[in-house]
Structures are given as structure tokens and as C-alpha cells.
Amino acid sequence: MRPEGAVPWPDDLARAYREAGCWRDRPLGSLPWEWARARGERVAVVDGEHRLTYRDLALRSDALAERLAGLGFAAGDTVLLQLPNRWEFVVVTLACLRLGVVPVMMLPAHREHELASIGAHVGAKALVVPDDWRGYDHQELAHRVADTLPGPARVLVVGEKVRPGGVDVRALMRPDGDVERRRRWLDERAPDPGDVAVFLLSGGTTGVPKVIGRTHNDYEYNFRRCAEVCGFDASTVYLAVLPAAHNFALASPGVLGALHAGGRVVLLPSPRPEAVFAAVEAERVTATSAVPAVVLKWVEAAGDGGHDLSSLRHVHVGGSVLSPEVAARIGPALGCRLQQVYGMAEGLICYTPADAPDEVAHTTQGSPVSPYDELLVVGPDGRPVPPGEPGELLTRGPYTPRGYFGVPAQNAVSFTPDGWYRTGDLVRITPEGHVVVCGRVKDLINRAGEKVSAGEIETLVQEMPEVAEAAAVAMPDPEVGERVCLFVRVRPGHTLTLDDVAGSLTARGVAAFKIPERLEVLDELPHTPIGKPDKKRLLDLLGLLAVRGR
């Protein structure tokens, strides 16, 4: 069942993408058996001491899928999936895909604010959470959120300490019973490959939740093409350190791309250099992906030596701007090749070739992974700029859906009438066809690859009684690229500190990565001629304050 509110491709293009072999009309949930038939006893997923073969994956995801059906879940239902990088993440995701239940890929850092608004928007029927994680009680959070949702929602818990009222997911995965009968039963109920398989969150979700429905067909093409461009095969050992729920680590090529290619996936819940280097050495990792802030830490720590990183062939770096200087240090420090990637949960992915000359790998973000990706660079008037000039990138293609889920008014802004997605990124395209990201026109803060919508923060802060007006801007930062800086005008007779803001947002369940890290209180905010806060002038002011050493 197609969740209502998803925006499909036009019929003629859908036909063309099928004829071209982009869309193969196979539901993603059928892949684990396809993989298991070819390479059943090989290890597919490693998580610490846990090692799952391809056959284990198929058996466990089938068992869970059938028992989810027994609990009343059916194709087209949505569930909020909030799990860290552990083996259960893979099984739960595959089980949902098998049954046609659509997982919404929440991040472990999300809290009540995000879970409740997205859950209400998609009509979530369940939350899947760890019992606790990094000292935080996700079970309690999930029950609280479930109570706020308009319809009944179950709490499914992965862990030892399942409390009354929650469902023990690990117990549902036990691969006992009649395997063949279960497989046939699930095959008969396989979802339509043109339907939405997963919901991804858009970087910089505004007040309006921007959720992207990726179909079985388009997402399979996404990770298959990325895997091809990255040279993934049966010898690949892919290390996932970024949250596996993020499109980058999930499918670009990430976890799904590595499994599809017959490789092995190693899951690590932390990008700390020590843990990463130990995993690379122990599992002979060949490829991994990271945002620039993380790879910089690896480069700095690699000099200490002590670990054998010789198995590493490629590191994929993207999500935010990578400076050419840091890019040039990656290969020598880690003993591998750099592939830059410019991607987005909305679709388009660009990669520098696996064997690109340094010039290309260090200074560009590569070219689209599909020959059917369309790119258009436009000026402020919406017209194409001359070749090589910078402008906003618009894109369409076989894995770039035509709209967000259930927000027609937002879609009229984010997409052109003829289906181009407005990326909000300023790019130029080199004569060789490589994209270079040179800025953005969208109003967000990119903190170590985590996108924070300025508008969302402003709305939340303006709800504080002390605040008359607020503007959030991206403060440049050597460590994480950008941090959220908040400018405010307070109401007469009030004062405001950074702690007040942090306290208020945290109390309202806003994810920690969105909390402003600097506050400037002004008597007046500068405005543009149409009366919006003038962010360019605020950024200039920030520069001046920095020069004055504040």
C-alpha cells in the first residue's frame, strides 16, 4: 500500500527508468533470501562479538516480519525506528522492508520534539527503540511520545530490560518455527516495489516535517549504483560509524550497498579514532564513510601509529564541506584513497571516482552516480547560468523523488512545477563535469554534517517569554565546520543567557545537536527590506566580534 501523500514520478519516466534497468521491480525485503542463496554461510554483519551470516539475516528478518504481522502491522504502516549502530538495526530494517512496513529513519540523538512531530506527521503505529543508550532511557521516551500520538502506537524495545507495556523485539527475531512456510507466506504478501520502502528525514527539517519517501525501486538503484561507483564487491568490508539511519551510511553505498555487493558490514556505534582504528585492524576493513569533522580527528590521531590500517582502501567523505587542505592529508595519514561524496536524503548522489587523480578527489565533490541524473545550475532569476558559473543546483532523476511526504505547500517551494528538486546548494560544475559545492542559499546550519534548520530554532526560541525576535546563523568553526549562533532581541525588562536557551530547548525535548552554542543579545536585529532578519549583516557582525576577540 502506498502511504498517501507520497509523490510519484510521472508514468513515462517510470517506464523509461524500468527500461533502462534502473528500477528492477523487486521488493527490498526479498533481497536477504537472494543474498542467502548465493552466500548463505558467509558473515554479513559484525557487531562486537556478534556475527550474523547472510542466512541468519534472512531467517531473523523473516521471523520478525511474520511476528510483526501477528501483532497487527501491515504494508503501508509506518514505524519510527530509532536504533544505534547495532546488529538489530539491520534485522529490524530488513523485517520492515519484508512486510512493507515503512521505517522512519530517526537518529539516536532525536528526542521528544522530533519523534512526536514526525510520528504525528506520518501516523506512526510504533516506535522501535533501544532500552537505554548512552545513559539515556529511550524506552521511557518512547512511551511518552506514544502517548502524544493521535492513534495508538506500540513501543518495541531492543535490549534486555524491556518494561511492561513494551514488546521485546529480540524475542520476536528468534528464527524458530517452519522456515519454509514462513518464507512463502511473506513472499505472498510482498509489497509493491513502486511503493515507499523507507522514510528518510530531510537535513534541515523546518517547522513543517520534511520526510522523504524512498521507494523499493529507487532505493535499490541508489545503493546498487553507489556500490558500483565505489568498487564494492565480495571482498568489501564496510565499517559503519556514522548513524546507520542516515542515508550516507545506510545506502550511499553504506550498509545496504555493502550487503548487496556480497561484502561484510561492521557496525560501530562511535566514530572515536581509537575504536575505529581497532575495528579496522581487527576486521580488515576496506572502506568506511565519514563527515569531514570526523575524518579530521582520524587524520590527527593516525600519526600516533599503533594500529595496522593497511586493509583500508577507500574512505568516503561528505555531508559538509571538506577543505582541500584536509583532503590532501587523508590519503597519506590513513594509507587509503579519498572519495568525496556530495549527497542528500532527497536523492542525488555525486562521487569522485575511486581512482580519481588527486586534483579531482581533493577539490571536487564528484559527478552523479547515474547517467540518468539531471543537473541544472540556475541563477537567482531561476534561469540556467553559463557553464562553469556558480548557481543553485536543481536536480531530477531515477532516485530523486518528486516531493516530500504529505506537505503540498512545502513541495511547491522545494520543487519546481516540472519536478526539479531545489537543493538549496550553490555549486559550479567543472569542464570535466564534476560538481564543486561553493555555498548554499537554504537557511540551515551544517554542524558536522548534522543539519539544523535555522527556522526551526527561531520558532522554538521565539516561544520563550523573554524573546521578542530571534535569528539563528551558522558560525564558522574549525572543528565541526559550523555551530548554531543565536541573535536575539529580548522583551523590555527581560534578560537571557545561553543557559536559559539551552535549558528551555532541552526541556522541550529538542535534540542536543540543535542547541545554540553562542548567544548574542542585540538592542535591534538588522532587517532586510522585506523585514526579515538580515543574516548577512549578522554574519558580518559575528566576524567583527571575532576580530575583537569576543
Residues that bind ligand J2J (CB under 6 A): 203, 247-248, 252, 318-321, 340-345, 349, 365, 423, 425, 437, 440, 449, 451
Q: Residue 478 CB, nearest distance to ligand J2J (Å)?
A: 16
Residue 280 or 448 having the CB closest to ligand J2J: 448
Residue 33 or 342 having the CB closest to ligand J2J: 342
Alpha-carbon span 316 to 143, nearest angstrom: 37
Strand order in the sheet with 166-168: 166-168, 154-158, 126-130, 78-81, 102-105, 196-201, 211-215
Q: Residue 203 CB, nearest distance to ligand J2J (Å)?
A: 3
- Cβ–Cβ under 8 Å, residues 291 and 320: yes
Q: Residue 247 CB, nearest distance to ligand J2J (Å)?
A: 4
Residue 59 or 356 having the CB closest to ligand J2J: 356
All three cell numbers of 505, joined, read 530547548
Burial 168-202 (b: 16+ CB within 10 A, else e): ebeebbeeeeeeeebbeebeebbbbbbbbbbbbbb
Residue 7 or 107 having the CB closest to ligand J2J: 107
Residue 121 or 440 having the CB closest to ligand J2J: 440
All three cell numbers of 189, joined, read 504478501
Alpha-carbon span 152 to 519, nearest angstrom: 40
Neighbours of 306 (CB within 10 A): 10
Q: Residue 393 CB, nearest distance to ligand J2J (Å)?
A: 8
Residue 263 or 319 having the CB closest to ligand J2J: 319
Instruction: Of 217, 215, 222, give the one whose Cα is nearest residue 25.
Output: 217
Q: What is the 3-state secondary structure (H, E, C) of 215-269?
A: EHHHHHHHHHHHHHHCCCCCCCEEEECCCCCCHHHHHCCHHHHHHHCCCEEEECC
Alpha-carbon span 367 to 522, nearest angstrom: 44
Q: Residue 249 CB, nearest distance to ligand J2J (Å)?
A: 8
419 to 374, 404, 412, 425: CA distances (angstroms): 11, 12, 10, 17
Residue 209 or 343 having the CB closest to ligand J2J: 343
Q: Residue 423 CB, nearest distance to ligand J2J (Å)?
A: 5
User: How does strand 347-351 pair with strand 367-368?
Assistant: antiparallel
For the chain, state the CA radius of gyration.
23
- Cβ–Cβ under 8 Å, residues 98 and 281: no
**CA 232 to mean position of chain CA atoms:** 20
Q: Residue 92 CB, nearest distance to ligand J2J (Å)?
A: 21
Residue 215 or 504 having the CB closest to ligand J2J: 215
Burial 214-226 (b: 16+ CB within 10 A, else e): bbbbbbbbbbbbb
Residue 30 or 339 having the CB closest to ligand J2J: 339
Number of residue whose CB is nearest ligand J2J: 343
Q: Residue 321 CB, nearest distance to ligand J2J (Å)?
A: 4
Residue 215 or 320 having the CB closest to ligand J2J: 320
Q: Residue 289 CB, nearest distance to ligand J2J (Å)?
A: 8
Q: Residue 529 CB, nearest distance to ligand J2J (Å)?
A: 27
Residue 172 or 341 having the CB closest to ligand J2J: 341
Q: Residue 211 CB, nearest distance to ligand J2J (Å)?
A: 12
All three cell numbers of 246, joined, read 542516515
All three cell numbers of 326, joined, read 584536509
Residue that is written with C-alpha cell 502491522 in the block: 73
